[in-house]
C-alpha cells in the first residue's frame, strides 16, 4: 500500500536502472531531505550540533567503509587511521595557508594514497589476514601520531584546526557547520547510490562474491580492490578532516584510535553490509544511542528518585547498549538496513497479502 | 507501523528531555557539570573523585549553601569518548551550567575550543593540556593543581635535596608510558638535565604496561640513582614485581600523583615500603575536612557511596578539586554578589590566595596570568601503614617550567 508497485512499468533500460524504482522510496528520500535541510530551524540546537552533525559526518565515513567492506568485501580494521591521515594532512595544509576547499581535497588524496599503499601490500592476503594487515596500519598510525610532535601538534598531541572557511565564507555558526556536514553526507550518499548501477559497482560486487570467478569474467580483481581502497580512503580522509573542522575543532590521537576503527566497523556491520540506509541506522545506533540511553537512564533515575551510585548509573546504559546490539543482530543478522527492508517488503503489499490467508 | 511507533518513542524521549530543562533552571542552584569517564579508561580515579564531589556538595548544602544558594554537581558518564563529552558539555551548557570538569584528557581537549568560544569555565585539574595554566592565552581554562611539567620539576628538586644539592654525578631514570601522558615531562627533564648536569635515562613502557621485563632489566644494568615514574594503576604493580626481580630497591621509585591505596594494596603494604609519590593533596584520613564529612554524612549513613572509596588518595584529590570550585563560588558571591555568572565566577577563581582547604592540599594562589595556582607538590613516602611527607610544598624551577609553558601556549591559536 505504502510502497505501491502497481502502475510502475519499466519499458526501457533507463527506467529499469533508476535509483528509485518505486515512487514511495523517492518520496520518502525527498521528505527526509527536506527534514534534513529544515533541521536547524525545527530541531533544538543541541540536537543539531551534538547529535545530527556528528551523525552525518560519521555516516559519510561509514559509507566509505561500507564501500570497501560491504561492496568490495575487504574487511578493514584500520579505517580510523585513514581518517586520521585525512584529518591531519588537511589541517596541516589549512594551517599552512591552503584554502579549506583544497585542504579537504589534499586530506582526501593523502588518505587515499596511504590507504591504497597499505592495500597494495595487503592485497596479497585475503580475509582475516587482510584484516590483520589493516589493523597493523592502525597501530602504525597510532604510533606515528603519539611519537611525532611535528605531526600531532606538540607535546600535548593536540592540533588546532583553523576556522573552516569555504567559498570565502567563514563558517562558525552551528547551522553553517551543520550544512557543511549535510552537504558532504549527501554527496557521498548520492555517489554511493549511483555506484550501485555503474560497471565499477558491479565489478566490486563481483570481486566481493568470488574474486577468481570475477577474474574469469574478465574483472581484474586486484585492480578493483585497489580502486575500492583508494575511493573509500578518500571518503574517509575527507570525512575525518570534516569531523575535526566542524565538530572537534582540534585533532587528538584518541579521536582516531583503534577503538574508533572497531566502532566504525561496528557501524557498518550493525547497519548492514552494502546497505546505504543501513549505514545511517548503524551510525545512529553505535554513535548516538549510548548518549541517549545514558540521558534516559539518568532522567529516569532522577524522576523515580532512585539513589543509584554514579558508577552503577554509568554502567547501566553500557549494558543496555550492548544488549541492543545483540538483540538487533539476533533479530536480523544482516543488520538494521535489512530490518528496514523487511518492513518495506511487508508494507509493499499490505494489506492485500492478508486476503490470501 | 513499527517504525513509526519507534520514531514516536524517540521523539517523546527527546521532548521529555527538552521539557525537563526549564524546571531545573527555575531552582537556580550553583551547578557544576561533571562529565566524567565512569566506565572506561579513567575508572581507576573517577568514582572516588565523583563521590568526593557529591559528598562535598552535600556538606556545603547542609551548612547553608553558597550565599544562601544550594549547590549541585551533575555527574554524567561520557565513556572517555570525545564525542559524548562534547554532547554532555553542550547539553548541560544549554541548561545554564557554566563550570565544567571532565577529568579526561581526550574529552578535555575536545571541549576546550567550545568552552573558550562560549565563555564557559573549564576546570581541568591534572588532565588536559598543561600549557593551559597560561591564563593570558587560555582565559576560560583553569588547570588548578600541578602540571606534569611542574610536578616533574619538583621531583628533580627533591632528588637534588637527596643528593645534597649537587646533581652532577647523578643518574635519573625516567620510566614512562609511551604516549603523550608519559612523554609530556621529557622536555622539562631534558632542560633540567642540562641545567643541573644530571644524566637523564629514558625508559619508554609500551601500553598498557603489562609487560615491563625489558625495561627494568635495562634499569638494573644502567643503575640510575633515582627513578621518576609516569605510569598509572596496574602498571605500578607490574613495575614493583619487576623491580623486586631485578633487585632494585623500592625507595628509588618516585611516582607521578596517580598512585593510590589500591595500588599499594596490590603491591602489598609491606612490599611497598619506601615507594614515593609526588602529590598536591595530603594523603590519608587525618584531615579536618575529611573528618567533617565522616561526622556529617557517613556516620549518619548519608554518604554518597561506599566508605572504602573514601579511604583513597583520589578521594582527597576530589575533595581538593571541588573545595577549590566551591571556594571560588563563595569568593565570587563576596565580590560581585548573586547571581553567579561565568565572569563573576572567574573573578572568584582569580581571587583565591593561599587557599589550602584547611590543610587538605598545597596552598594555591590563582591569578589572571597563572591559572594553575602555583603548581606546588610534595613528595610522600609509604612507610608500610601511612604516607610520610618528605618535603614541604614546593614549586621549584618555575622559570624553566614557565618557559616550557609559554613556548607551548604561544603556538595556540596560530
Percent of chain B clearing pLDDT 70 (strictly above): 93
Beta-carbon contacts of residue A84 (< 8 Å; ≥ 6 apart): A141, A145, A240, A251, A253, A255, A256
The band of B284, judged by pLDDT with boundaries at 50, 70 and 90, is: confident
Distance CA A348, CA A35 (A): 24
Looking at the structure, do residues A291 and A156 belong to the same domain, yes or no?
no
Contact A74, A205 (CB under 8 A): no
Mean pLDDT of all residues in A317-325: 86
Looking at the structure, do residues A68 and A102 belong to the same domain, yes or no?
yes
Does the beta-carbon distance from A311 to B38 stay under 8 Å?
yes
Does the beta-carbon distance from A156 to B411 stay under 8 Å?
no
Nearest CA among B223, B232, B123, B122 for reference residue B169 = B223
Interface test with B, best of A31, A32, A146, A156 (most B CBs within 10 A): A156
| Residue A84 included in any domain | yes
Answer yes or no: is pLDDT of B15 > 80.
no
Residues 264..323 of B with a Cβ closer than 8 Å to A: which? 304-305
Does the beta-carbon distance from A46 to B90 stay under 8 Å?
yes
Looking at the structure, do residues A219 and A315 belong to the same domain, yes or no?
no
What pLDDT is stored for residue B20 in this prediction? 43
Which of A45, A157, A255 has the CB atom closest to B180's CB atom? A157
Looking at the structure, do residues A132 and A171 belong to the same domain, yes or no?
yes
Question: Is the preceding peptide bond at A339 cis, omega within 30 degrees of 0?
Answer: no
Provide the number of structural domains found in chain A.
Answer: 2
Domain B148-279+378-409, classified CATH 1.10.150.240, yes or no:
no
Does the beta-carbon distance from B109 to A252 stay under 8 Å?
yes
| Residue A208 included in any domain | yes
Looking at the structure, do residues A75 and A165 belong to the same domain, yes or no?
yes
Q: Worst-scoring range by mean pLDDT, A122-126, B371-375, B407-411? A: A122-126
Looking at the structure, do residues A350 and A222 belong to the same domain, yes or no?
no
| Residue A352 included in any domain | yes
State the complex-level ipTM.
0.87
Mean per-residue pLDDT over chain A, rounded:
88
Does the beta-carbon distance from B180 to A155 stay under 8 Å?
yes
The band of B23, judged by pLDDT with boundaries at 50, 70 and 90, is: very low
Looking at the structure, do residues A249 and A306 belong to the same domain, yes or no?
no
Q: Which 8-state DSSP code applies to residue B134?
A: B
Contact A65, A83 (CB under 8 A): no
CA distance to partner chain A, nearest, from residue B184 (Å): 6
Percent of chain A clearing pLDDT 70 (strictly above): 98
HEC secondary structure over B246-314: CCCCHHHEEECCCCCHHHHHHHCCCCCCCCEEEECECCCCCCHHHHHHHHHCHHHCCCCCCHHHHCCHH
| Residue A193 included in any domain | yes
| Residue A64 included in any domain | yes
Does the beta-carbon distance from A155 to B47 stay under 8 Å?
no
pLDDT tens digits along B375-412: 899 999 999 888 999 999 999 898 999 998 898 888 88
Phi first, then psi, for residue A236 (nearest 5°) are -60, -40
Residues 101..120 of B with a Cβ closer than 8 Å to A: which? 105-106, 109-110, 112-114
CATH, domain range B27-146+285-349: 3.40.50.2300
Looking at the structure, do residues A206 and A299 belong to the same domain, yes or no?
no
Answer yes or no: is pLDDT of B24 > 50.
no
- Domain encompassing residue A308: 275-357
Partner A contacted by B79 (CB < 8 A): yes
Looking at the structure, do residues A225 and A330 belong to the same domain, yes or no?
no
* B79 contacts on A by Cβ (under 8 Å): 290, 314, 318
CA distance to partner chain A, nearest, from residue B215 (Å): 18
Strands B199-205 and B226-230 turn out to be: unpaired
Percent of chain A clearing pLDDT 90 (strictly above): 46
What pLDDT is stored for residue B214 in this prediction? 92
Interface test with A, best of B18, B77, B113, B117 (most A CBs within 10 A): B77
**Of A227, A257, A287, which residue is a domain's last?**
A257
Answer yes or no: is pLDDT of B328 > 50.
yes
Domain ranges of chain B: 27-146+285-349, 148-279+378-409
Contact A73, A66 (CB under 8 A): no
Phi first, then psi, for residue A242 (nearest 5°) are -70, -35
Does the beta-carbon distance from B109 to A158 stay under 8 Å?
yes
Task: Identify any residues that bridge with A200 across adjacent strands, giving them in sequence order.
Answer: none
CA distance to partner chain A, nearest, from residue B58 (Å): 14
**HSE (CB half, 13 Å, CA atoms) of A356?**
5
**Of A226, A257, A288, which residue is a domain's last?**
A257
Amino acid at each position: 500500500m505504502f510502497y505501491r508497485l502497481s502502475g510502475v512499468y519499466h519499458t526501457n533500460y533507463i527506467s529499469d536502472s533508476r535509483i528509485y524504482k518505486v515512487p514511495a522510496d523517492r518520496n520518502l528520500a525527498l521528505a527526509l531531505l527536506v527534514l534534513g535541510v529544515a533541521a536547524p530551524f525545527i530541531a533544538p540546537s543541541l540536537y543539531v550540533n551534538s547529535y545530527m552533525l556528528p551523525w552525518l559526518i560519521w555516516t559519510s565515513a561509514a559509507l566509505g567503509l561500507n564501500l570497501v567492506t560491504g561492496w568490495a568485501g575487504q574487511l578493514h580494521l584500520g579505517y580510523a587511521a585513514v581518517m586520521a591521515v585525512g584529518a591531519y594532512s588537511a589541517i596541516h595544509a589549512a594551517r599552512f595557508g591552503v584554502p579549506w576547499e583544497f585542504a579537504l581535497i589534499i586530506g582526501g588524496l593523502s588518505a587515499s594514497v596511504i590507504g591504497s599503499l597499505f592495500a597494495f601490500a595487503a592485497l596479497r592476503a585475503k580475509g582475516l589476514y587482510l584484516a590483520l594487515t589493516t589493523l597493523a596500519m592502525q597501530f602504525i598510525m597510532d604510533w606515528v601520531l603519539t611519537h611525532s610532535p611535528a605531526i600531532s601538534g606538540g607535546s600535548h598531541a593536540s592540533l588546532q584546526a583553523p576556522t573552516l572557511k569555504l567559498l570565502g565564507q567563514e563558517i562558525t555558526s552551528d547551522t553553517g557547520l551543520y550544512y557543511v556536514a549535510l552537504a558532504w553526507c549527501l554527496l557521498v550518499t548520492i555517489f554511493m547510490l549511483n555506484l550501485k548501477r555503474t560497471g565499477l559497482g558491479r565489478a566490486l560486487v563481483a570481486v566481493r562474491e568470488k574474486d577468481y570467478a570475477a577474474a574469469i569474467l574478465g574483472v581484474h580483481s586486484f585492480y578493483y580492490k585497489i580502486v575500492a581502497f583508494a575511493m573509500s580512503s578518500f571518503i574517509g580522509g575527507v570525512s575525518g578532516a570534516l569531523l575535526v573542522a566542524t565538530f572537534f575543532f582540534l585533532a587528538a590521537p584518541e579521536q582516531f584510535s583503534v577503538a574508533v576503527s572497531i566502532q566504525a566497523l561496528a557501524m557498518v556491520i550493525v547497519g548492514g553490509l552494502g546497505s546505504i540506509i543501513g549505514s545511517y541506522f548503524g551510525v545512529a545506533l553505535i554513535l548516538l544511542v549510548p548518549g541517549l540511553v545514558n540521558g534516559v537512564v539518568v532522567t529516569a533515575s532522577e524522576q523515580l528518585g532512585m539513589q543509584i551510585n554514579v558508577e552503577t548509573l554509568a554502567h547501566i546504559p553500557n549494558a543496555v547498549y550492548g544488549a541492543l546490539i545483540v538483540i538487533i543482530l539476533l533479530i536480523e543478522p544482516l543488520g538494521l538496513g535489512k530490518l528496514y527492508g523487511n518492513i518495506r517488503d511487508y508494507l509493499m503489499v499490505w494489506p492485500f497479502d492478508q486476503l490470501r490467508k | 507501523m513499527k517504525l513509526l511507533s519507534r520514531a514516536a518513542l524517540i521523539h517523546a524521549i527527546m521532548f521529555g528531555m527538552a521539557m525537563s530543562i526549564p524546571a531545573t533552571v527555575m531552582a537556580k542552584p550553583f551547578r557544576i557539570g561533571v562529565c566524567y569517564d565512569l566506565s572506561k579508561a579513567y575508572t581507576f580515579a573517577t568514582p572516588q573523585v565523583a563521590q568526593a564531589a557529591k559528598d562535598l556538595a552535600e556538606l556545603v548544602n547542609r551548612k547553608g549553601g553558597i550565599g544562601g544558594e544550594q549547590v549541585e554537581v551533575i555527574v554524567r558518564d561520557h565513556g572517555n569518548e570525545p564525542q559524548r563529552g562534547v554532547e554532555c558539555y553542550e547539553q548541560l551548557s544549554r541548561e545554564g551550567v557554566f563550570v565544567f570538569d571532565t577529568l579526561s584528557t581526550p574529552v578535555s581537549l575536545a571541549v576546550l575550543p567550545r568552552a573558550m568560544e562560549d565563555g564557559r569555565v573549564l576546570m581541568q585539574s591534572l588532565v588536559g593540556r598543561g600549557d593551559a595554566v597560561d591564563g593570558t592565552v587560555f582565559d576560560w581554562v583553569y588547570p588548578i593543581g600541578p602540571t606534569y611539567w611542574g610536578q616533574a620539576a619538583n621531583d628533580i628538586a627533591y632528588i637534588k635535596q637527596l643528593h645534597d644539592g649537587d646533581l652532577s654525578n647523578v643518574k635519573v631514570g625516567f620510566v614512562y608510558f609511551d604516549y603523550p601522558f608519559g612523554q609530556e615531562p621529557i622536555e622539562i627533564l631534558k632542560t633540567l638535565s642540562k641545567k643541573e648536569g644530571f644524566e637523564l635515562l629514558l625508559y619508554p613502557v609500551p601500553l598498557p604496561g603489562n609487560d615491563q621485563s625489558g625495561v627494568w632489566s635495562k634499569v638494573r644494568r644502567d643503575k640510575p640513582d633515582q627513578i621518576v615514574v609516569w605510569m598509572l594503576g596496574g602498571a605500578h604493580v607490574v613495575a614493583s614485581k619487576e623491580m623486586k626481580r631485578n633487585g632494585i630497591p623500592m625507595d628509588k621509585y618516585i611516582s607521578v600523583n596517580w598512585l593510590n591505596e589500591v595500588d599499594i594494596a596490590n603491591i602489598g603494604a609491606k612490599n611497598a615500603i619506601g615507594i614515593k609519590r609526588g602529590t598536591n593533596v595530603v594523603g590519608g584520613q587525618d584531615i579536618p575536612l575529611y573528618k567533617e564529612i565522616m561526622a556529617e554524612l557517613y556516620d549518619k549513613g548519608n554518604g554518597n557511596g561506599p566508605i572504602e572509596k573514601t579511604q583513597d588518595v583520589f578521594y582527597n584529590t576530589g575533595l581538593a578539586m571541588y573545595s577549590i570550585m566551591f571556594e571560588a563560588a563563595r569568593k565570587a558571591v563576596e565580590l560581585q554578589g548573586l547571581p553567579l555568572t561565568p565572569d563573576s565566577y572567574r573573578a572568584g577563581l582569580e581571587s583565591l590566595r593561599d587557599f589550602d582547604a584547611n590543610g587538605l592540599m598545597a596552598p594555591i594562589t590563582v591569578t589572571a596570568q597563572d591559572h594553575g595556582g602555583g603548581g606546588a607538590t610534595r613528595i610522600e613516602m609509604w612507610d608500610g601503614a601511612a604516607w610520610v611527607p618528605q618535603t614541604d610544598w614546593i614549586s621549584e624551577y618555575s622559570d624553566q617550567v614557565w618557559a616550557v609553558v609559554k613556548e607551548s601556549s604561544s603556538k595556540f591559536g596560530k
